[in-house]
Amino acid sequence: MSWAWFHKLGSPKWFFSWSKPWALPVFCFGCLSLLIGLVWGLVFAPADYQQGNSFRIIYIHVPVAMLAQSCYLALGVAGFVFLVWQMKMAPIFIKAMAPIGAVMALIALVSGAIWGKPTWGTWWVWDARLTSVLVLFFLYMGIIALQNSLDDQVLANKAAAVISVVGLINLPVIKYSVVLLETLHQGPTFTLTKKPDMPPEMWLPLLFAVIGLYCFVAGLLIWRMQSEILKREYRSSWVKQEVTEHGL
Amino acid sequence: MTYSSFLVSEFLVLWRRKQDVFNALLFFVIVVVLFPIGINSSPEFLAPAAAGIVWCATVLAILMAVEGMFKEDYHDGSLEQLVVSGLSLPLLILLKIVAQWLTVVLPLLLMMPLLSEMLYLPSSGFWVLTMTLLVGTPSLFFIGVIGSALTVSIKQGAMLVMLLILPFYLPVIIFSTLAVKASQAGLPYSGLLAMLLAISLLSLVISPFMTAIVVKASVN
């Protein structure tokens, strides 16, 4: 297998021209799939025999919570890539990804609280998963705050990479530690190895929503990275050429 | 410069700025005092909550001490000297942490009998709490110096260090307070102490190298 594509990723110019045709289709596909999943789930899927209609918030809560975790994993991997290979795209990726992840963690917390009120009778419990998502949100905010307060670009790149990697190493420890506090939350809805317990007309829309949100975020991410590249490389001749030829 | 001369000079600097160490200790005591006054001063509340209170105060005091660890060195240029000295930077950082840990944590441990009396902590819980402090606080320093190095070039870095580093301290606080609670309930707690030690060792492996990367990036 050739590793050329991996090395090419280090070049903002190459990434910019490669990703240009991808952003819009991925984003549109994501929107469409998300819309199908949400409409199907919120309107047509059968109500739960125990939780009634309040279970429908699963179609927002689960995809968002999955994204919140995946985003952090991606941040940590990007940080590692930057520390080891000094790849120029990695800090751009971190910068573009961190706010998205923070928003996802926040939506997961809020939607979880709204779901918790009718089912558990309380907005908030100090349960393992809730606490770990809250911590995840704090970690995201820390990365964003650090990047915003460092003026030196080189230092900001290093700093964000280091804190992402340290966060990724610590995340299992944090998760394990909060699991020792009591847990009220149900187990994971989707696992790769097992068939879901729900009937297909319930989990199929969820699958659509999850895939849709992933694509939606991927499209958003590509756009954010492209604008970050333009901001960072504004002195180079290819950006000037790009802007004069195609406009912004 | 050699490693031993570096360590001696670190202790000398800490000795000459003993007011700072003393301030951290005073801060620790004041935070502990806030809880009985602010929440409830009855022994029924304080005895089970004592470990949590002491640990919250410890975390804050250590973070305050660690936050300024590289600031002085950064501004007077000695941090740059460490980078160009030819000695191993992670090892120098490790020595610095050791010096700092000894000067901050040992006085804090000496205060513990007094504080545990004030918080009505029974003597069995006191020894477990002391042990959690001994095995848990190194990890606080190791994780904290990363934050301290990250924000060394920022003028008002203290708040940012708090925001960055406090989430990483949660497991340490959880394991320590669970250990004290387990001992008070008569349950075995050695596993929790082992977890604390494991976190300290893990951060010992990672932190000096990460800090060295950041320090190098900061002084350029």
pLDDT at B101: 93
List C-alpha distances in Å: A141 to A94, A100, A126, B20.
Answer: 13, 11, 20, 30
Question: CA of B209: which chain A residue's CA is closest?
Answer: A162
Higher pLDDT, residue B157 or B51: B51
CA distance B161 to B120: 33
For chain A, residues with pLDDT lower than 70 are: 1-2, 181-197, 247-248
Which of B150, B153, B206 has the CB atom closest to A163's CB atom? B150
The mean pLDDT value for B76-93 works out to 90
Q: A52 to chain B nearest CA, in Å?
A: 36
pLDDT at A192: 55
CA distance B135 to B193: 7
* Number of domains present in the structure of chain B: 1
pLDDT at A241: 83
Helices and strands: H and E segment counts in chain A:
9, 0
Q: Is the confidence at residue B115, as pLDDT, over 70?
A: yes
pLDDT at B92: 93
Q: Which residues contact B29 (CB under 8 A, 6 or more apart)?
A: B57, B111, B115
Q: B158 to chain A nearest CA, in Å?
A: 12
Q: In this complex, how many residue pairs, one in chain A and one in chain B, have their CB atoms less than 8 Å apart?
A: 75
Inform me whether the C-beta atom of residue A176 falls under 8 Å from chain B C-beta atoms. yes
The mean pLDDT value for B155-164 works out to 86
Inform me whether the C-beta atom of residue B219 falls under 8 Å from chain A C-beta atoms. no
Map B97-165 to HEC letters: HHHHHHHHHHHHHHHHHHHHHHCCCCHHHHHHHHHHHHHHHHHHHHHHHHHHHHCCCCCCCHHHHHHHH
The mean pLDDT value for B74-102 works out to 91
The mean pLDDT value for B111-131 works out to 89
List C-alpha distances in Å: B58 to A80, A246, B80.
Answer: 31, 58, 31
Inform me whether the C-beta atom of residue A174 falls under 8 Å from chain B C-beta atoms. yes
- Tell me the residue type at A17: S
pLDDT at A191: 60
Q: Using an 8 Å CB-CB cutoff, list chain B residues near A141.
A: 163
pLDDT, tens digit, 9 for 90 and up, residues A15-33: 888 888 888 899 999 999 9
On whether the CB atoms of residues B199 and A173 are closer than 8 A, the answer is: yes
Radius of gyration of chain A (CA): 20
pLDDT, tens digit, 9 for 90 and up, residues B177-211: 989 988 888 888 898 999 999 999 999 999 999 99
pTM score, whole prediction: 0.87
Radius of gyration of chain B (CA): 18
pLDDT at B158: 85
Query: What is the ipTM for the molecules in this complex?
Result: 0.86
Provide the domain limits for residue B180: 3-219
pLDDT at B37: 92
Interface test with B, best of A140, A144, A166 (most B CBs within 10 A): A166
Interface test with B, best of A155, A174, A178 (most B CBs within 10 A): A155
pLDDT at A77: 94
The mean pLDDT value for B60-78 works out to 89
Interface contact A174-B178, CB threshold 8 A: no
Which residues of chain A from 79 to 118 reach within 8 Å of chain B, CB to CB? 83
Structure tokens at A85: 């290979």
Interface contact A141-B163, CB threshold 8 A: yes
pLDDT at A33: 92
Which of A141, A146, A167 has the CB atom closest to B150's CB atom? A146
Compute, in degrees rounded to 10, the torsion defined by CA atoms B26, B27, B33, B39: 180
The mean pLDDT value for B75-86 works out to 88
